[in-house]
Amino acid sequence: MSLAFRPITHLRHVGIAVPSYRQAVDFYQNVWGLTPVAQDSGVTFFGTPADPEHYILRVREDRQKRLDLIAFAADSPTDVDLLAERLIDRQIKIDRDPDKLSTPGGGYGLRFFDPDGRLIEVSADVELRPYRQLEAKESIPQKLSHVVINTTNVHATKAFYEDVLGFRLSDWLGDFMCFMRSGPQHHILAISQAPSHSLNHISFEMRGIDEYMRGTGRMIRHGHRPLWGPGRHGAGDNTFSYFLDPFDNIIEYTTELEIVDEDTWEPSVYDPASPDTQDQWGTGGAMTEVMLPIMLKTRDDVGLWTPSPM
């Protein structure tokens, strides 16, 4: 048994801010398929009936679009405290010291900035919500699957998530994108080399192939054609349909993301030039013309190194 410090258990939620708040709430509820579980003035917390996580997306009203934070779960308040010590040791900028959280579900957590200035929250003891299995054909997200971030130095950012937060490498795509896990799910985080520090995409897991296709179809019927997909990636073996939300955030429906045996898993390097790496099915179309320029943003996200107002 390794003595490495591995405090992160899973991905909890992502917080975004948008200027057109009403439009965002309507989109994420009525088109994307999330359920508002709590609301305050200018912020809505979205969950899904299929996940015990209190909420998986937080949408806040602000003058400018920004990424507010990415939140991961830790096993215990002790791990949150140990993480704080580690952050102090390594002179990492802490935004909020470990304390009780006042967001829905409560808990105990801290916030800090990763090396690119992204605000990260790590929390434990967050109350779970009652949940149920989704029914066949119920094409709403069942949980948050993974988040992909862009950085100008993929190796430095990867090293931070490994050394400080205990993430493990699952696979590389060429030498520019790495898939990181905190448990058997092939990735909950991927890090991509890009011209900027920015959000690449947020991915939501569907119940299965049928529900993922129905969700994809619902988006098309609402006028949101996939940027890329439906298709099936090589690394992670997951299906993908990528869309833009009304604020140009890339969001993904996925399903069947690979579960790995952590004792035996060896990372491999997927060849980006191979058609099967991009899309095993060959149904997704070319990613290079439309998708790549949108994913690899040239401008940094708004809000780096800046605490979120809530």
Residues that bind Fe ion (CB under 5 A): 203, 252
Question: For residues 21 and 15, what is the distance between their CA atoms, to the nearest angstrom?
Answer: 13
Q: How far is the CB of 49 from Fe ion (least distance, A)?
A: 23
> By C-beta, is 67 or 124 nearer to Fe ion?
67
Q: How far is the CB of 227 from Fe ion (least distance, A)?
A: 12
Q: How far is the CB of 258 from Fe ion (least distance, A)?
A: 12
Q: How far is the CB of 240 from Fe ion (least distance, A)?
A: 6
Give which of 152, 161, 143, 158 is closest to 56, Cα–Cα: 143
The owner of tokens 């791990």 is 79
Contact 230, 213 (CB under 8 A): yes
Which DSSP string corresponds to 269-296? EE-TTSHHHH-SSS-S--STTTHHHHHS
> By C-beta, is 171 or 252 nearer to Fe ion?
252
What strand order describes the sheet that includes 177-181? 228-232, 239-244, 250-254, 198-205, 143-151, 189-193, 177-181, 168-173, 268-270
> By C-beta, is 43 or 251 nearer to Fe ion?
251
> By C-beta, is 15 or 236 nearer to Fe ion?
236
Burial of 8 (C-beta count, 10 Å sphere; 0-12/13-18/19+): buried
Q: HSE-up of 248 (CA within 13 Å, CB side)?
A: 12
> By C-beta, is 207 or 232 nearer to Fe ion?
232
Q: How far is the CB of 217 from Fe ion (least distance, A)?
A: 19
